[in-house]
Amino acid sequence: MSTYVLCHGGGMGGWIWKFVKPALLAAGHEVYTPTYTGFGEREHLLSADIDTNVHVTDIVNVLEKEDIQDCILVGHSYSGTILPGVVAQAGDRIRRVVLLDSLIVRTGESVVEAMGLMPAEQAAGIAAGVKSGDIPPTAGVHTQQREMAKQHPMDMSAERQQWLLDNLSDQPLACTVTPVAVGAEKLIGKPVDYVAASDTIMKSLHPRAAELGWTVHELKGDHAFLVGQADWTAKFLLDCA
């Protein structure tokens, strides 16, 4: 039996694993699906003080309080900024790392900088504005994703897409404009598998996975494949065990 800790992406929560988790449980594995502070059912905790460091602590606390050992740590999308910090603090509890079309951000980089959305100086200015209270702490990512889905429907049934969109929540803006304390290049000493989707906003970051020496798995599909291709995702994770 293996233990999986499944970490969600931006605007989501532990609920996003609804269609993947049953197959892992049916195979006899233990599964945890934590939600980051300020996301999902914890969106009422969203504030200007929440950044990636808080989310690293969220996951480290789950590993420690649940006394999780030898786990497979899985991260989708935004979680790529969190898992390196978790490994740095609690690497002795982690067997391997699996990143599902995730962000690949270097130490000292912000998410928006890594994705080429704005220069570091602009991101720093926004981060300062959030901290001072001059800029609202919300990112509006849930609204953005719903608008994107109108232009480019997700690769899944209409019913499943509506379920996903209905459950989206906002997230703390500081998470995307504040530099990451522990970047992807710090994932040393653990095997890392990276799934690169073919139709995704993460495409510009995919080359970084190969540069870091990770095992890269190509998948024909979009960024939300853990919902649209849940059976494939579950089988892939089971194979990782």
Q: What is the pTM of this model?
A: 0.97
pLDDT score at 202 = 97
pLDDT score at 23 = 98
pLDDT score at 10 = 97
pLDDT score at 61 = 98
pLDDT score at 25 = 98
pLDDT score at 163 = 98
The ranges assigned to domains in the chain are 3-240
pLDDT score at 151 = 93
Over the chain (241 residues), the average pLDDT of each successive run of 10 is 97 98 98 98 97 98 98 98 98 98 98 97 98 97 95 96 98 98 95 98 97 98 98 98 92
CATH no. for 3-240? 3.40.50.1820
Can you spell out the DSSP letters for the chain? Answer: --EEEEE--TT--GGGGTTTHHHHHHTT-EEE----TTSGGGGGG--TT--HHHHHHHHHHHHHHTT--SEEEEEEGGGGGTHHHHHHHHGGGEEEEEEES-----TT--HHHHTTSS-HHHHHHHHHHHHHTSS-SB--HHHHHHHHHHHS--SS-HHHHHHHHHH----BTHHHHSPPSS-GGG--SS-EEEEEEEESTTGGGHHHHHHTTPEEEEEEEETTHHHHTHHHHHHHHHHH-
